[in-house]
Amino acid sequence: MSKKDQNDVDKYLKDSAGLDTEREKVIGQHIGYRYDVNLLPDDDKITPFLKEYMEFMGWDDLNWLEDVHMGYEEGQPAIFDRNINGWVRIPKSMALPNNQQDRDMIARELLIRFQTSPNHPLHDLNKAYRKF
Protein backbone atom coordinates (compact mmCIF):
# COMPACT_ATOMS: atom_id res chain seq x y z
CA MET A 1 0.00 0.00 0.00
CA SER A 2 1.45 3.34 -0.98
CA LYS A 3 1.81 6.29 1.38
CA LYS A 4 -0.81 8.11 -0.71
CA ASP A 5 -3.33 5.29 -0.12
CA GLN A 6 -2.70 5.40 3.64
CA ASN A 7 -3.54 9.12 3.77
CA ASP A 8 -6.62 8.88 1.53
CA VAL A 9 -9.63 9.57 3.75
CA ASP A 10 -11.86 7.91 1.13
CA LYS A 11 -9.78 4.74 0.83
CA TYR A 12 -12.46 2.41 2.23
CA LEU A 13 -15.20 4.07 0.22
CA LYS A 14 -13.26 3.39 -2.99
CA ASP A 15 -12.14 -0.11 -1.97
CA SER A 16 -14.86 -1.78 0.11
CA ALA A 17 -12.76 -4.89 0.74
CA GLY A 18 -9.88 -2.77 2.03
CA LEU A 19 -7.56 -5.75 2.22
CA ASP A 20 -4.08 -4.28 2.50
CA THR A 21 -1.78 -7.02 3.78
CA GLU A 22 -1.12 -10.46 2.33
CA ARG A 23 -2.64 -12.02 5.47
CA GLU A 24 -5.86 -10.03 4.99
CA LYS A 25 -6.02 -11.18 1.38
CA VAL A 26 -5.53 -14.82 2.40
CA ILE A 27 -8.28 -14.78 5.05
CA GLY A 28 -10.51 -12.45 3.05
CA GLN A 29 -11.16 -9.89 5.76
CA HIS A 30 -9.67 -6.75 7.22
CA ILE A 31 -7.65 -7.01 10.43
CA GLY A 32 -7.77 -4.15 12.90
CA TYR A 33 -9.22 -0.69 12.82
CA ARG A 34 -10.03 1.21 9.63
CA TYR A 35 -9.06 4.53 11.15
CA ASP A 36 -6.19 5.98 13.11
CA VAL A 37 -6.86 4.95 16.73
CA ASN A 38 -4.17 7.39 17.86
CA LEU A 39 -5.96 10.39 16.36
CA LEU A 40 -6.90 12.62 19.28
CA PRO A 41 -10.12 14.56 18.84
CA ASP A 42 -9.63 18.20 17.89
CA ASP A 43 -11.75 20.22 20.33
CA ASP A 44 -12.08 23.00 17.75
CA LYS A 45 -14.04 20.61 15.53
CA ILE A 46 -16.66 19.62 18.11
CA THR A 47 -20.11 20.28 16.67
CA PRO A 48 -22.57 22.60 18.44
CA PHE A 49 -24.78 19.57 19.18
CA LEU A 50 -21.89 17.72 20.84
CA LYS A 51 -20.95 20.80 22.88
CA GLU A 52 -24.52 21.00 24.15
CA TYR A 53 -24.57 17.25 24.87
CA MET A 54 -21.27 17.40 26.77
CA GLU A 55 -22.58 20.30 28.84
CA PHE A 56 -25.82 18.43 29.58
CA MET A 57 -23.85 15.35 30.64
CA GLY A 58 -21.45 17.43 32.76
CA TRP A 59 -18.40 16.29 30.78
CA ASP A 60 -15.24 18.37 30.31
CA ASP A 61 -14.28 16.37 27.24
CA LEU A 62 -15.82 13.87 24.83
CA ASN A 63 -15.55 11.10 27.44
CA TRP A 64 -16.39 7.70 25.87
CA LEU A 65 -17.23 9.40 22.56
CA GLU A 66 -13.49 9.71 21.92
CA ASP A 67 -13.64 6.02 20.99
CA VAL A 68 -16.29 6.62 18.31
CA HIS A 69 -14.96 6.98 14.78
CA MET A 70 -16.50 6.91 11.36
CA GLY A 71 -15.88 3.45 10.02
CA TYR A 72 -16.91 1.70 6.86
CA GLU A 73 -19.13 -1.27 6.25
CA GLU A 74 -19.06 -2.80 2.78
CA GLY A 75 -17.75 0.42 1.27
CA GLN A 76 -20.35 2.61 2.98
CA PRO A 77 -19.54 5.11 5.74
CA ALA A 78 -20.96 3.83 9.02
CA ILE A 79 -20.74 4.06 12.79
CA PHE A 80 -20.45 1.02 15.02
CA ASP A 81 -23.09 1.10 17.77
CA ARG A 82 -21.95 -1.13 20.63
CA ASN A 83 -25.44 -1.15 22.13
CA ILE A 84 -26.89 -3.00 19.16
CA ASN A 85 -23.60 -4.68 18.18
CA GLY A 86 -23.95 -3.50 14.62
CA TRP A 87 -23.16 -0.84 12.06
CA VAL A 88 -25.40 2.16 11.48
CA ARG A 89 -24.85 3.45 7.97
CA ILE A 90 -24.52 7.13 7.17
CA PRO A 91 -27.23 8.32 4.74
CA LYS A 92 -25.92 8.26 1.17
CA SER A 93 -27.23 11.79 0.68
CA MET A 94 -24.88 13.14 3.37
CA ALA A 95 -21.77 14.85 2.01
CA LEU A 96 -18.68 13.82 3.96
CA PRO A 97 -15.92 16.24 4.94
CA ASN A 98 -12.50 15.59 3.46
CA ASN A 99 -10.72 14.87 6.75
CA GLN A 100 -11.02 12.20 9.41
CA GLN A 101 -11.39 14.61 12.35
CA ASP A 102 -14.58 16.16 10.94
CA ARG A 103 -15.90 12.74 9.90
CA ASP A 104 -15.38 11.42 13.42
CA MET A 105 -17.24 14.38 14.95
CA ILE A 106 -20.15 13.77 12.58
CA ALA A 107 -20.09 10.08 13.52
CA ARG A 108 -20.21 10.94 17.23
CA GLU A 109 -23.12 13.30 16.74
CA LEU A 110 -25.07 10.88 14.55
CA LEU A 111 -24.53 8.05 17.03
CA ILE A 112 -25.88 10.11 19.94
CA ARG A 113 -28.82 11.27 17.84
CA PHE A 114 -29.59 7.67 16.83
CA GLN A 115 -29.20 6.27 20.34
CA THR A 116 -31.57 8.87 21.76
CA SER A 117 -34.17 8.55 19.00
CA PRO A 118 -37.34 6.45 19.15
CA ASN A 119 -35.90 4.48 16.18
CA HIS A 120 -33.15 2.92 18.30
CA PRO A 121 -33.89 -0.69 19.37
CA LEU A 122 -33.13 0.12 23.01
CA HIS A 123 -36.01 2.61 23.02
CA ASP A 124 -38.51 -0.27 22.87
CA LEU A 125 -36.60 -2.20 25.54
CA ASN A 126 -36.64 0.84 27.79
CA LYS A 127 -40.42 1.16 27.44
CA ALA A 128 -40.96 -2.56 28.06
CA TYR A 129 -38.62 -3.04 31.03
CA ARG A 130 -38.27 0.33 32.73
CA LYS A 131 -38.93 -0.07 36.46
CA PHE A 132 -39.71 3.51 37.39
Residue 80 lies in a domain: yes
Mean pLDDT of 94-103: 90
Residue 85 lies in a domain: yes
Residue-level pLDDT at 96 = 92
80 φ, ψ to 5°? Answer: -85, 120
Domain count, the chain: 1
Residue-level pLDDT at 118 = 92
Residue-level pLDDT at 57 = 93
pTM of the model: 0.72
Residue 94: strand pairing partners: none
Q: Is the separation of the CB atoms in 30 and 64 below 8 Å?
A: no
In terms of residue numbers, what domain contains 82?
Answer: 48-118
What Å distances lie between residue 103 and 6, 51, 107, 115, CA to CA? 16, 16, 6, 18
Task: State the chain's mean pLDDT as an integer.
Answer: 81
The Cα–Cα gap between 15 and 2 comes to 14
